[in-house]
Amino acid sequence: MSRVEADFERAVARHRHELLVHCYRMLGSVHDAEDAVQETLLRAWRAADRFDPARASLRTWLYRIATNACLTALESRSSRPLPSSVGPAFDDPDAPLVPNLEVTWLTPIPGDPEASAVERSRLRLALVAALQLLPARQRAALILREALDVPAAEVGESLGMSTAAVNSALQRARRTLASAGVDPEAAAEPPAEQRAVVDRYVDAFERADVPAITALLTDDIVLEMPPNENWYAGRDDYAGFMRRVYRLRGTDWRTEPIWANGEAGFVAYVDGRLHTVQVLTVEGGRVARTTVFQSPEAFAAFGLDGDAVIR
Protein backbone atom coordinates (compact mmCIF):
# COMPACT_ATOMS: atom_id res chain seq x y z
CA MET A 1 0.00 0.00 0.00
CA SER A 2 1.39 3.41 -0.98
CA ARG A 3 1.71 6.21 1.54
CA VAL A 4 -1.12 8.10 -0.21
CA GLU A 5 -3.39 5.05 0.09
CA ALA A 6 -2.40 4.55 3.73
CA ASP A 7 -3.10 8.19 4.55
CA PHE A 8 -6.48 7.92 2.84
CA GLU A 9 -7.35 4.76 4.76
CA ARG A 10 -6.44 6.38 8.07
CA ALA A 11 -8.44 9.51 7.26
CA VAL A 12 -11.65 7.67 6.41
CA ALA A 13 -11.35 4.80 8.91
CA ARG A 14 -12.87 6.76 11.77
CA HIS A 15 -15.94 7.48 9.65
CA ARG A 16 -16.65 3.90 8.51
CA HIS A 17 -19.07 3.00 11.28
CA GLU A 18 -21.21 6.11 11.02
CA LEU A 19 -21.28 5.76 7.24
CA LEU A 20 -22.53 2.18 7.68
CA VAL A 21 -25.27 3.40 10.02
CA HIS A 22 -26.19 6.16 7.57
CA CYS A 23 -26.39 3.75 4.62
CA TYR A 24 -28.39 1.26 6.69
CA ARG A 25 -30.97 3.92 7.50
CA MET A 26 -31.22 4.73 3.81
CA LEU A 27 -31.37 1.13 2.59
CA GLY A 28 -32.80 -0.95 5.48
CA SER A 29 -30.24 -3.74 5.10
CA VAL A 30 -26.81 -4.32 6.64
CA HIS A 31 -25.69 -6.22 3.55
CA ASP A 32 -26.76 -3.43 1.21
CA ALA A 33 -25.29 -0.81 3.56
CA GLU A 34 -21.91 -2.56 3.55
CA ASP A 35 -21.95 -2.57 -0.26
CA ALA A 36 -22.84 1.14 -0.28
CA VAL A 37 -19.97 1.97 2.10
CA GLN A 38 -17.54 0.13 -0.16
CA GLU A 39 -18.90 2.05 -3.13
CA THR A 40 -18.60 5.30 -1.15
CA LEU A 41 -14.94 4.69 -0.36
CA LEU A 42 -14.22 3.76 -3.97
CA ARG A 43 -15.88 6.95 -5.23
CA ALA A 44 -14.07 9.00 -2.58
CA TRP A 45 -10.71 7.50 -3.53
CA ARG A 46 -11.30 8.29 -7.19
CA ALA A 47 -12.32 11.86 -6.38
CA ALA A 48 -9.78 12.50 -3.63
CA ASP A 49 -7.89 15.08 -5.68
CA ARG A 50 -11.09 17.14 -5.92
CA PHE A 51 -11.78 17.22 -2.19
CA ASP A 52 -11.56 20.80 -0.90
CA PRO A 53 -11.45 21.07 2.92
CA ALA A 54 -12.22 24.77 2.59
CA ARG A 55 -15.68 23.91 1.25
CA ALA A 56 -16.64 20.96 3.48
CA SER A 57 -15.19 18.70 6.15
CA LEU A 58 -14.09 15.19 5.17
CA ARG A 59 -17.04 13.81 7.16
CA THR A 60 -19.59 15.96 5.31
CA TRP A 61 -17.98 15.13 1.97
CA LEU A 62 -18.13 11.39 2.68
CA TYR A 63 -21.77 11.64 3.78
CA ARG A 64 -22.65 13.33 0.50
CA ILE A 65 -20.93 10.60 -1.48
CA ALA A 66 -22.58 7.88 0.64
CA THR A 67 -26.01 9.44 0.21
CA ASN A 68 -25.66 9.50 -3.54
CA ALA A 69 -24.33 5.93 -3.56
CA CYS A 70 -27.49 4.92 -1.70
CA LEU A 71 -29.70 6.86 -4.10
CA THR A 72 -28.04 5.04 -6.99
CA ALA A 73 -28.70 1.71 -5.28
CA LEU A 74 -32.35 2.63 -4.68
CA GLU A 75 -32.87 3.28 -8.38
CA SER A 76 -32.80 -0.47 -9.01
CA ARG A 77 -34.55 -1.78 -5.91
CA SER A 78 -37.57 -1.03 -3.78
CA SER A 79 -37.56 0.15 -0.19
CA ARG A 80 -37.57 -2.48 2.55
CA PRO A 81 -40.77 -2.41 4.64
CA LEU A 82 -42.03 -4.34 7.64
CA PRO A 83 -45.35 -6.22 7.41
CA SER A 84 -47.28 -3.51 9.28
CA SER A 85 -46.51 -1.17 6.37
CA VAL A 86 -47.73 -3.59 3.72
CA GLY A 87 -51.20 -4.66 4.78
CA PRO A 88 -53.80 -4.65 7.58
CA ALA A 89 -53.28 -6.50 10.84
CA PHE A 90 -54.44 -10.11 10.94
CA ASP A 91 -57.27 -10.77 13.38
CA ASP A 92 -56.89 -14.55 13.73
CA PRO A 93 -53.83 -15.73 15.68
CA ASP A 94 -54.37 -19.22 14.26
CA ALA A 95 -54.37 -18.06 10.63
CA PRO A 96 -51.78 -19.86 8.48
CA LEU A 97 -48.52 -18.00 8.06
CA VAL A 98 -48.37 -16.15 4.75
CA PRO A 99 -44.75 -15.88 3.61
CA ASN A 100 -44.12 -13.28 0.94
CA LEU A 101 -40.74 -13.82 -0.65
CA GLU A 102 -41.42 -11.27 -3.38
CA VAL A 103 -41.03 -8.43 -0.87
CA THR A 104 -37.49 -7.50 0.14
CA TRP A 105 -38.03 -6.97 3.84
CA LEU A 106 -36.24 -4.71 6.30
CA THR A 107 -33.55 -6.52 8.28
CA PRO A 108 -31.97 -5.59 11.63
CA ILE A 109 -28.50 -4.26 12.28
CA PRO A 110 -26.40 -5.50 15.22
CA GLY A 111 -26.06 -2.81 17.85
CA ASP A 112 -23.96 -1.84 20.84
CA PRO A 113 -25.64 -0.83 24.12
CA GLU A 114 -22.64 1.42 24.72
CA ALA A 115 -23.34 3.44 21.58
CA SER A 116 -24.45 7.02 22.08
CA ALA A 117 -28.06 7.71 22.94
CA VAL A 118 -28.37 9.62 19.66
CA GLU A 119 -27.19 6.67 17.57
CA ARG A 120 -29.40 4.20 19.43
CA SER A 121 -32.43 6.45 19.00
CA ARG A 122 -31.82 6.96 15.29
CA LEU A 123 -31.60 3.20 14.73
CA ARG A 124 -34.91 2.28 16.39
CA LEU A 125 -36.67 -0.28 14.22
CA ALA A 126 -39.90 1.70 14.11
CA LEU A 127 -38.04 4.77 12.86
CA VAL A 128 -35.96 2.92 10.26
CA ALA A 129 -39.13 1.19 9.03
CA ALA A 130 -40.94 4.53 8.80
CA LEU A 131 -38.04 6.01 6.83
CA GLN A 132 -38.57 3.27 4.25
CA LEU A 133 -42.03 4.75 3.57
CA LEU A 134 -40.44 7.92 2.21
CA PRO A 135 -39.42 8.47 -1.40
CA ALA A 136 -35.66 8.14 -1.69
CA ARG A 137 -34.82 11.85 -1.94
CA GLN A 138 -37.18 12.78 0.90
CA ARG A 139 -35.47 10.12 3.00
CA ALA A 140 -32.03 11.42 2.09
CA ALA A 141 -32.96 15.04 2.81
CA LEU A 142 -34.39 14.17 6.22
CA ILE A 143 -31.46 11.99 7.23
CA LEU A 144 -28.88 14.56 6.14
CA ARG A 145 -30.62 17.33 8.06
CA GLU A 146 -30.96 15.08 11.10
CA ALA A 147 -27.54 13.46 11.08
CA LEU A 148 -25.37 16.41 10.12
CA ASP A 149 -27.63 19.39 10.71
CA VAL A 150 -26.74 20.39 7.15
CA PRO A 151 -28.46 23.62 6.05
CA ALA A 152 -31.23 23.09 3.52
CA ALA A 153 -29.23 24.89 0.82
CA GLU A 154 -26.33 22.45 1.25
CA VAL A 155 -28.68 19.47 1.30
CA GLY A 156 -30.07 20.74 -1.99
CA GLU A 157 -26.56 21.03 -3.42
CA SER A 158 -25.85 17.43 -2.43
CA LEU A 159 -29.11 16.11 -3.90
CA GLY A 160 -29.48 18.36 -6.93
CA MET A 161 -32.56 20.10 -5.49
CA SER A 162 -33.46 23.71 -4.86
CA THR A 163 -33.65 24.95 -1.28
CA ALA A 164 -37.41 25.35 -1.65
CA ALA A 165 -37.70 21.75 -2.89
CA VAL A 166 -35.65 20.52 0.07
CA ASN A 167 -37.85 22.37 2.58
CA SER A 168 -40.96 21.00 0.90
CA ALA A 169 -39.52 17.47 0.95
CA LEU A 170 -38.70 17.81 4.66
CA GLN A 171 -42.25 18.92 5.46
CA ARG A 172 -43.75 15.99 3.55
CA ALA A 173 -41.33 13.55 5.15
CA ARG A 174 -42.17 14.70 8.65
CA ARG A 175 -45.89 14.46 7.92
CA THR A 176 -45.44 10.89 6.72
CA LEU A 177 -43.54 9.91 9.85
CA ALA A 178 -46.17 11.57 12.04
CA SER A 179 -48.96 9.70 10.26
CA ALA A 180 -47.04 6.47 10.94
CA GLY A 181 -46.96 7.37 14.64
CA VAL A 182 -43.20 7.82 14.70
CA ASP A 183 -41.39 10.76 16.29
CA PRO A 184 -37.90 11.02 14.77
CA GLU A 185 -36.74 13.00 17.80
CA ALA A 186 -37.89 10.42 20.38
CA ALA A 187 -35.18 8.84 22.48
CA ALA A 188 -34.62 5.12 22.92
CA GLU A 189 -35.05 3.80 26.45
CA PRO A 190 -31.78 3.54 28.45
CA PRO A 191 -30.03 0.19 27.79
CA ALA A 192 -30.20 -1.08 31.38
CA GLU A 193 -33.94 -0.45 31.55
CA GLN A 194 -34.50 -2.11 28.19
CA ARG A 195 -32.51 -5.18 29.14
CA ALA A 196 -34.29 -5.56 32.48
CA VAL A 197 -37.67 -5.70 30.75
CA VAL A 198 -36.44 -8.00 28.00
CA ASP A 199 -34.84 -10.33 30.56
CA ARG A 200 -38.23 -10.69 32.26
CA TYR A 201 -39.81 -11.37 28.88
CA VAL A 202 -37.16 -13.98 28.06
CA ASP A 203 -37.71 -15.72 31.38
CA ALA A 204 -41.43 -16.03 30.61
CA PHE A 205 -40.71 -16.97 26.97
CA GLU A 206 -38.41 -19.85 27.92
CA ARG A 207 -41.00 -21.12 30.42
CA ALA A 208 -43.77 -20.86 27.79
CA ASP A 209 -45.70 -18.76 30.29
CA VAL A 210 -48.14 -16.84 28.10
CA PRO A 211 -49.88 -14.96 30.96
CA ALA A 212 -46.48 -13.73 32.19
CA ILE A 213 -45.53 -12.66 28.67
CA THR A 214 -48.82 -10.85 28.21
CA ALA A 215 -48.40 -8.98 31.50
CA LEU A 216 -45.25 -7.36 30.09
CA LEU A 217 -46.94 -5.97 26.97
CA THR A 218 -48.48 -2.59 26.26
CA ASP A 219 -52.15 -2.59 25.33
CA ASP A 220 -51.34 -1.70 21.72
CA ILE A 221 -48.42 -4.12 21.32
CA VAL A 222 -47.42 -4.91 17.73
CA LEU A 223 -46.04 -8.30 16.70
CA GLU A 224 -44.63 -8.74 13.20
CA MET A 225 -42.47 -11.41 11.65
CA PRO A 226 -41.03 -10.91 8.19
CA PRO A 227 -40.92 -12.62 5.73
CA ASN A 228 -44.50 -13.44 6.74
CA GLU A 229 -47.25 -10.94 6.00
CA ASN A 230 -48.98 -11.88 9.28
CA TRP A 231 -48.80 -9.20 11.92
CA TYR A 232 -50.89 -8.63 15.02
CA ALA A 233 -51.90 -5.70 17.18
CA GLY A 234 -53.09 -5.87 20.78
CA ARG A 235 -52.41 -8.11 23.76
CA ASP A 236 -55.18 -10.63 23.08
CA ASP A 237 -54.00 -11.52 19.58
CA TYR A 238 -50.37 -11.52 20.75
CA ALA A 239 -51.25 -13.98 23.51
CA GLY A 240 -53.23 -16.10 21.07
CA PHE A 241 -50.29 -16.26 18.68
CA MET A 242 -47.87 -17.24 21.45
CA ARG A 243 -50.19 -20.05 22.55
CA ARG A 244 -50.15 -21.24 18.95
CA VAL A 245 -46.33 -21.12 18.86
CA TYR A 246 -45.99 -23.31 21.93
CA ARG A 247 -48.72 -25.66 20.73
CA LEU A 248 -47.04 -26.20 17.37
CA ARG A 249 -43.32 -25.86 18.20
CA GLY A 250 -43.22 -27.21 21.73
CA THR A 251 -41.68 -25.67 24.84
CA ASP A 252 -37.97 -26.56 24.56
CA TRP A 253 -36.71 -23.00 23.95
CA ARG A 254 -33.30 -21.50 24.65
CA THR A 255 -32.14 -17.94 24.04
CA GLU A 256 -29.04 -15.78 23.71
CA PRO A 257 -29.13 -12.01 24.30
CA ILE A 258 -28.36 -9.58 21.48
CA TRP A 259 -28.62 -5.87 20.76
CA ALA A 260 -30.02 -4.65 17.47
CA ASN A 261 -31.10 -1.23 16.24
CA GLY A 262 -30.37 0.31 19.62
CA GLU A 263 -32.82 -2.11 21.22
CA ALA A 264 -32.52 -5.24 23.35
CA GLY A 265 -33.45 -8.59 21.91
CA PHE A 266 -32.53 -12.24 21.74
CA VAL A 267 -31.80 -15.16 19.45
CA ALA A 268 -34.34 -17.96 19.93
CA TYR A 269 -33.54 -21.66 19.54
CA VAL A 270 -36.17 -24.41 19.63
CA ASP A 271 -35.14 -28.03 20.17
CA GLY A 272 -31.56 -26.82 19.87
CA ARG A 273 -31.98 -25.32 16.40
CA LEU A 274 -31.85 -21.67 15.40
CA HIS A 275 -35.37 -20.29 15.07
CA THR A 276 -35.45 -16.49 15.00
CA VAL A 277 -33.82 -13.18 15.86
CA GLN A 278 -36.25 -11.16 17.97
CA VAL A 279 -35.93 -7.43 18.64
CA LEU A 280 -38.10 -5.86 21.34
CA THR A 281 -39.03 -2.20 21.61
CA VAL A 282 -39.43 -1.13 25.24
CA GLU A 283 -41.48 1.90 26.20
CA GLY A 284 -42.30 2.90 29.75
CA GLY A 285 -41.21 -0.41 31.22
CA ARG A 286 -43.25 -2.58 28.84
CA VAL A 287 -42.77 -4.20 25.46
CA ALA A 288 -44.43 -2.09 22.77
CA ARG A 289 -43.28 -4.00 19.69
CA THR A 290 -41.74 -7.38 18.94
CA THR A 291 -40.17 -7.84 15.54
CA VAL A 292 -39.28 -11.43 14.73
CA PHE A 293 -36.81 -12.06 11.91
CA GLN A 294 -36.37 -15.44 10.24
CA SER A 295 -34.29 -15.02 7.13
CA PRO A 296 -30.77 -15.99 6.06
CA GLU A 297 -29.87 -12.30 5.70
CA ALA A 298 -30.97 -11.48 9.24
CA PHE A 299 -29.11 -14.50 10.62
CA ALA A 300 -25.97 -13.63 8.68
CA ALA A 301 -25.98 -10.09 10.08
CA PHE A 302 -25.46 -11.59 13.55
CA GLY A 303 -23.03 -14.30 12.44
CA LEU A 304 -25.56 -17.06 13.08
CA ASP A 305 -25.42 -20.48 11.45
CA GLY A 306 -28.87 -21.75 10.54
CA ASP A 307 -27.63 -25.34 10.54
CA ALA A 308 -25.97 -25.22 13.95
CA VAL A 309 -27.44 -27.19 16.84
CA ILE A 310 -27.05 -26.18 20.49
CA ARG A 311 -27.90 -28.11 23.62
29-72 pLDDT, tens digit per residue, is 999 999 999 999 999 988 888 888 888 889 989 999 999 999 99
pLDDT reading at 311 higher than 80: no
Angle at 39 between CA 82 and CA 297, to 5 degrees: 35
- Which range (53-62, 84-93, 173-182) has the least confidence? 53-62
pLDDT tens readout for residues 161-176:
999 999 999 999 999 9
R_g of the chain, CA atoms, integer Å: 21
The one-letter amino acid at 49: D
Q: If you average pLDDT over every residue of the chain, what do you get?
A: 93
Helices (H), the chain: 3-13, 16-27, 30-46, 58-74, 117-122, 125-131, 136-148, 152-159, 163-179, 191-206, 210-215, 235-249, 296-301
Q: Among residues of the chain, what percentage have pLDDT more than 70?
A: 96
Q: How far apart are the first and last CA of the chain?
A: 46
pLDDT score at 103: 94
Instruction: Give domain 191-301's CATH architecture.
Output: Roll (3.10)
pLDDT reading at 252 higher than 80: yes
What is the residue extent of each domain of the chain?
1-76, 191-301
pLDDT score at 223: 98
pLDDT tens readout for residues 96-121:
999 999 999 999 999 999 999 999 99
Mean pLDDT score, 250-261: 97
pLDDT tens readout for residues 8-37:
778 888 899 999 999 999 999 999 999 999
pLDDT reading at 306 higher than 80: no
What's the predicted TM-score (pTM) here? 0.93
Mean pLDDT score, 281-299: 96
pLDDT score at 1: 45
Secondary-structure class of domain 1-76 per CATH = mainly alpha
pLDDT reading at 271 higher than 70: yes
pLDDT band at 263; cut points 50, 70, 90: very high
